[in-house]
Amino acid sequence: MTSIGQRLVTVRPLPPGAAWVAVRVWFSILVPLLVLVAIDHVEWTLYAVFGAFTSLYGRERVDLHRIVRQGAAGLSLITATILGALVATSSAREWLAIPVAGAVAVVASYVSESHGWIPPGSLFQVFAFAAVASVPAEASDLVPAIVVVTLSALFAVLVGNVGALVRRARRTADPAPPGHPIGGAHSGGWLYAAQSGIGVIAAGLIATGSGIGRPYWAMVSAVVPLMTHDFAAQLVRGLHRVIGTFIGLGVAWLLLDLDLADAVVVVIAATLQAFTELVIGRNYAFALICITPLALLIVHLAAPVIPINELLGDRGLETVIGVTIGLLVGYATRPRNATRA
C-alpha cells in the first residue's frame, strides 16, 4: 500500500504544451456558451459544452492528424449528446438511459483503446449522453440539440487548428508528425470495453434503484477507475476521484451560493476547465477540484436545481457509489496473470 500512497500524493511536472491546450479549451467553451446566454437560450448550454469538449482531443497531434482525431472524437460526442436528447423525450428515461449508457461506454471505450485517444476511455461520451438524458425534453428540443452540439464541436475543431492555418498563411514549416502510428487495435480492447459497459450499467441500476436524484453521476464515476488497466492504478484513480470531488464540492457550494449572473457562470466554467487541463496531468485529484464545480455549474445553468444542498449531496454520494462499482468491476475482471495490488 506504500506504493499506492505515494502515487496518491505524487505531483508530476506540467506536461509539454499544456498551457496551449488550456487556452484552446477555454476559448472553445467560452464562445458558444456566451452566444447562448446572449440569445437567451441557457437551456441549450448543456449541448454546447459537450460539443466543446472536442477541444480536449488531439493535443498530441499536429495539423491534419489533429483534425482527424478531433473530428472522430467530436463525432462521438455529437452522437452521445443526440442519443441523450432522444432518451430525454421518453417518460421512462431514467431506466432507459442505463442500457444505452452502457452501450455508449462499450463503443467509446473500444474505439478509444483501439485508436489511442487522449484523453482515454469513454468518460466524456458517457457524461454527454447521461447528463443530457437526465433532463426532461420534448421532441422539439431535438433540432436545437443537434444544431448546437454540432456547431460547438466544429468551432472547437477550428480553434484547435488555428495554428496550422497560421503556418499555412505564413508558409512556415509544419511540426513533425507524431512518431507513433495513428490507430491500430490494442490487445485487450474488448475486455476494456466490457469492463466499462458493466461498470456503467451496474452503477446506473444501483443509483436509480435507490432513488437518488441524479444517477448519471454514478455511471460517469464508474468508468473513471476503468480508464486505466492495472488495478493499483485503478485504485489510485478512484481515490483521486473521491478525494478531489469532495474538496470540489466545497468550491461548488461557494460558487453556487453566490447566485451569479449567467455570463459570469460561463466565464468561471470555461476558466475551471482551462485550469483542469493545467493540473490533470500532474495529479488527478487536483483536476477534480476544478471539474466538480465546473460540472455542477453547467448542469445548474441549463437545468437549475433547488435546493443546492440536494445537488451537492447527490454528487458526493453517487461519486462514491460509481467509484466503488468501477473498482469492483476492475478487480473482478482483471486478467488472471495481473500483479496483485
pLDDT one-digit tens code per residue, 38-84: 999 999 999 999 999 999 998 777 777 888 899 999 999 999 999 99
Cis peptide before 119 (omega within 30 of 0): yes
What is residue 339's DSSP assignment?
Answer: P
In angstroms, rounded to a whole number, what is the distance separating the alpha carbons of residues 93 and 132?
10
Cβ–Cβ < 8 Å for 225, 241: yes
pLDDT of amino acid 339? 47
Pairwise CA distance, residues 202 & 222, whole Å: 9
User: CB of 151 within 8 A of CB of 51?
Assistant: yes
Which residues, at least 6 apart from 326, have a Cβ–Cβ distance to it below 8 Å?
A: 199, 203, 221, 222, 223, 224, 225, 226, 234, 238
Q: Which residue has the cell 461520451?
A: 125
> Where does residue 142 rank: exposed (0-12), middle (13-18), buried (19+ CB within 10 A)?
middle
What is the predicted pLDDT for the residue at 34?
97
- CA–CA separation, 284 vs 240, rounded Å? 6
Cβ-proximal residues to 327 (8 Å cutoff; 6+ apart), any chain: 225, 234, 235, 238
Question: How is residue 75 written as a grid cell?
Answer: 463525432
**pLDDT tens for residues 284-330?**
999 999 999 999 999 889 888 767 888 898 899 999 999 999 999 99
Give the dihedral sign, CA 206/201/225/302. negative
Between CA 192 and CA 198, with CA 196 as vertex, the angle to 5 degrees is: 115
Domain limits, the chain = 15-168+187-332
pLDDT given for residue 340 in this prediction: 46
DSSP assignment of 168-190 equals HHHTPPPPPPPSSPS--PPTTHH
pLDDT for position 11: 81
The predicted pLDDT at position 229 comes to 79
- Per-residue confidence (pLDDT) for residue 185, from 0 to 100: 39
Cell digits for 145?
Answer: 440539440
Calpha distance 108→125 (Å, rounded): 7
Q: Which residues of the chain have pLDDT under 50?
A: 1, 177-187, 339-341
Query: Which residues neighbour 208 within 8 Å (Cβ) at sequence distance 6 or greater?
Result: 94, 95, 98, 215
Distance, in Å, from the CA atom of 307 to the CA atom of 305, rounded to the nearest integer, reads 6
Cell numbers 432518451: residue:
87
